[in-house]
Amino acid sequence: MKAAMLYGIKDLRIEDVPKPEVGAGEVLVKVKAATTCGTDLKIFQRGYVEKVIKLPTVFGHEWAGEVAEVGSGLEWPHKGMRVRAGNSAPCLRCVMCQKGKYNLCENMIWLWGAYAEYIKVPARMVLVNMQEIPLHVSYEEAAITEPLACVLHGVEEARVKLGDTVAIIGAGPIGLLHLLTVKKLGAEKAIIIDLVDERLSFAEKLGADETINAGKEDAAEKVRKITSGYGADVVIEAIGLPKTWEQALTLVRKGGTVLEFGGCPPGTEIKVNTEMLHYGEITVLGAFHATPLHFRKALRLIASRIIDVKPLITRKMRLDEIKEAFQMLVTSKNEIKIAIIP
Ligand SMILES: [Zn+2]
Ligand SMILES: [Zn+2]
C-alpha cells in the first residue's frame, strides 16, 4: 500500500509499504479521508518530542475510513462499517486513569499513519476509542473528531460560561474550533487575535464578534476597549509559543481564566506577574489532549451539526500530493485544513 513516511524536517515521502497484518482484537481500516493538523505541521516544520514520535515514521493522525478486516475475537465492528478511531487509547489501569485523567495516562498508546491507504487500529484502541460514523457525516468531517475532542476538553477545563467574553489567540484550525465551541456555549463576545488578516476575516465568517491583528494594533489595549476596560473573562491561547502564552496573561480580567492550550517547544518557560496572579485572582491552566469521552462527544456534536466543522476543510488533495499540501499550509494564508483522500 501507499503511505506517507516522514524522514525528518520537511522530508515527507510517499512509499510503498507492506499492508499491515491484522492480529487478534485488531482492525484494519481503509482510510477514506485524513485531515491535516497543526501538530502535523509543527512536526513537519520543526520536528517533535522523541517520546511521541520516532523517525522515520508513518505520519498523520486525524482520519476516518471503512473497516477492511476484523481480527479474531471481535464482535464489533463489522467489515464495511464506517469508523473513526484514535489517535490515542489510555490503559484504564494506571494511577492517572484511576483518577479519571485518561488524557494523562502513563501508558497511553498513540496511533500514527493516517496518510496511507490503510491503517491498523490496535486492540485497546478498538475497545476504548473507535466509533461508528453516522451515514450523513462525511469521512472528512469525522476525521476532525480528534482536534474537536481536544478543544472540548479545553473549554471544559476553562469553564466557559453563558455570557462570557472569550479572547482566543490564534485563528488556525484549533483557534477556530475554540471559536465555534465557545459561541455554542453562549459566549457573548468571541474575540480572535492573529497576525494574518485573511485568517481574521475567515474567523469573522465563522462567527467571531471582534478580530484583532496583533501585528498592527495593541491586542491588550483593544481587548480592554471591547470589555469596558476590564479584560476578557476567559483567554485561550491556541498557538503554542511562550510569547503568546505571556500575551494571554495580559488580556484577562481580574478573577478570569487563562487557558494555555497550545503546546510550546520543549524546555521553554514563561514569566507570570505574581501580583496579578495573587491580587487579581487569575487562574492559569493547561489542557492536554482529550479522553475517550471527549472523542465520543466530539463525533456526536459533528454529526448533529451543533459544531459544523465543514467550513474548516478548505481543500481536498490526493495522497500523492501530500508534500504539496504541507507546503501549501506553510505558505498559504487561506488554507485551514486540507483533507487528504487516498
Ligand atoms: Zn490533530
Ligand atoms: Zn492509564
**Residue 260 has which C-alpha cell?**
494555555
**Fold that domain 149-286 belongs to in CATH:** Rossmann fold (3.40.50)
| pLDDT tens by residue, 63-83 | 999 999 999 999 999 999 999
Q: How far is the CA of 129 from the centre of ligand 2 (A)?
A: 14
Q: Give the model's pLDDT for residue 49.
A: 58
Cα–Cα distance for residue pair 218/284, rounded to 1 Å: 22
What is the band of 145 on the pLDDT scale with cuts at 50, 70, 90? very high
- Give me the phi and psi of 84, to 5 degrees please: -135, 155
The residue that leads in pLDDT, 55 or 92, is 92
What are the residue ranges spanned by the domains of the chain?
A: 2-144+309-341, 149-286
Ligand 2 centroid from CA 85, angstroms: 18
Beta-bridge partners for 241: none
Q: Residue 143: name the closest of 263, 4, 316 by CA.
A: 316
What percent of the chain clears pLDDT 70, i.e. is strictly above it? 98
User: How far apart are alpha carbons 266 and 117 in whole angstroms?
Assistant: 32
- Give pTM, 2 decimals: 0.96
- pLDDT at residue number 232: 98
Ligand nearest to the backbone CA of 61: 1
Ligand 1 centre and the CA of 208: distance in Å? 22
| Residue 69 · residue 22 · CB < 8 Å | yes
Dihedral sign for Cα atoms in the order 31, 32, 37, 41: positive
| Ligand approaching nearest to the C-alpha of 151 | 1
Joined grid coordinates for residue 162:
453563558
pLDDT tens-digit map of 39-53: 888 888 877 656 566
Q: Which CATH architecture has domain 2-144+309-341?
A: Alpha-Beta Complex (3.90)
* Cα–ligand 1 centroid distance for 161 (angstroms): 25
**Integer Cα distance of 292 and 130 in angstroms:** 9
Cα–Cα distance, 292 to 281 (Å, whole number): 32
Among 73, 77, 72, 107, smallest CA distance to 89 is for 107
- pLDDT at residue 50 in the model: 60
